[in-house]
Amino acid sequence: MTEMVYGTVPVREGEPVLPKWWRTVDRWSLSCILVLFGIGILLGLAASVPLAERNGFAHFHYVQRQAIFGGLALSAMLFTSMLSPVMVRRIAVIGFLGAFISLMGLPFLGTDFGKGAVRWYSLGFASVQPSEFLKPLFVIVAAWMMAASQEIGGPPGKLWSFGIAVTIVFALALQPDFGQASLVLFGWGVMWFVAGAPMTLLAGMAGLVGLGGMFAYNNSEHFARRIDGFLNPEVDPRTQLGYATNAIQEGGFFGVGVGEGTVKWSLPDAHTDFIIAVAAEEYGLILVLLIIVLYAVVTVRSMLRLMRERDPFIRLAGTGLASMFGVQAMINMGVAVRLLPAKGMTLPFVSYGGSSLIAGGIAVGMLLAFTRSRPQGEIGEILRGRMR
């Protein structure tokens, strides 16, 4: 009864699932995701053709695969967004166990596809990257533990989530995949901060991350090579960063024209990690700014809606998913313009990749499920009521 009195969304008994979902979902964020996927298909038409020719496939082989994977991703997103937070949590816990076991089995059964990092399972017709699925599922599990620790007599959920986070980061660093490791640690840190971690503890964590980076630099040739390339004041024009930098400069404000770009013929990862360079060269700064705005809208709107949420689990899980989504996009684009070291990270819903697309669909679907309007008193109303 209290929720019905204080709620801003009326309760409709027996309302069908689809109308209820459409009435409560964040349609602005949903629309932005669909536009991002459309942009990904558009850029894939240009960026993946050279790769298809080099590998002896039809010109639009990778575009067709991206459309198939994207259809699966959007279906997973829509289905997940219709679930209740409790059901999302239950499915995420089970999925996390499977993804965690898969991650631990990579050193024994995984492959590197000649890229120097064992991150994938080869299925013959496709490949699977467990870390892509592990990221959003870990956020849900960690949020559940942190929320439980806030209850009277609750378990030490923050400590448990910290132990799991360290284990995942260590496993990812062994691949090596420092980009995904840093993203997992960032998402956990944001949730820990929202859950009430003291600043001194966060500062100590930042120091440990710095020490870990120094250790990796001194003991990992892969990590040291990327850091040295980033710190070098001169960019080798024959490297991926060199090609990407030149393409962005050539694109200017309006781009060189659709299909007129040349960077896609030089970059081996033009359709994945450096897709933003293709966008900047052929369509110019205008399309890049549009892409940035779309990611910002999804992230900021989700945060604003979560600020009104009174359930600590939903607030923590949604914050972790939204921040991880926004930061991954920022890292990918930051690498292309040489603001960050190379990380090997895709641009969500725009880059080619089955694992990243489907895992991204699941992650955004869970975020949409958490940010749906529900018949409840907003957190501000609850606090004002207690102060009276």
DSSP 131-142: HHHHHHHHHHHH
Would you state the pLDDT for residue 68? 94
SS3 content of the chain, % helix, strand, coil (to 5): 70, 0, 30
Supply angle C-alpha 163, 165, 167, rounded to 5. 70
Tokens for 322, please give them.
């939204």
255 alpha carbon, distance to own chain's centre: 27
Would you state the pLDDT for residue 290? 96
Would you state the pLDDT for residue 18? 86
- d(CA 186, CA 182) in angstroms, rounded, equals 6
Residue 255 near residue 331, CB atoms below 8 Å: no
DSSP 326-355: HHHHHHHHHHHTTSS-------TTTS--HH
- d(CA 177, CA 88) in angstroms, rounded, equals 27
Q: Where are the beta strands (DSSP E) in the chain?
A: 121-122, 127-128
- d(CA 316, CA 191) in angstroms, rounded, equals 6
Supply angle C-alpha 288, 294, 295, rounded to 5. 95
Residue 320 near residue 139, CB atoms below 8 Å: yes
CA distances from residue 319 to 165, 193, 280, 324 in whole angstroms, order as listed? 17, 10, 30, 8
54 alpha carbon, distance to own chain's centre: 29
Domain extent listing, the chain: 17-373
Which pTM does this prediction carry?
0.89
Q: Which residues pair with 122 in a beta bridge?
A: 127
Question: Model confidence over 320-357: pLDDT tens digits?
Answer: 999 999 999 999 998 888 888 777 788 999 998 888 99
Supply angle C-alpha 95, 101, 103, rounded to 5. 100
Would you state the pLDDT for residue 233? 65
Where the chain has pLDDT below 70, the residues are 1-14, 222, 233-238, 376-388
Would you state the pLDDT for residue 238? 64
Residue 137 near residue 99, CB atoms below 8 Å: yes
Residue 216 near residue 178, CB atoms below 8 Å: yes
Residue 52 near residue 60, CB atoms below 8 Å: yes
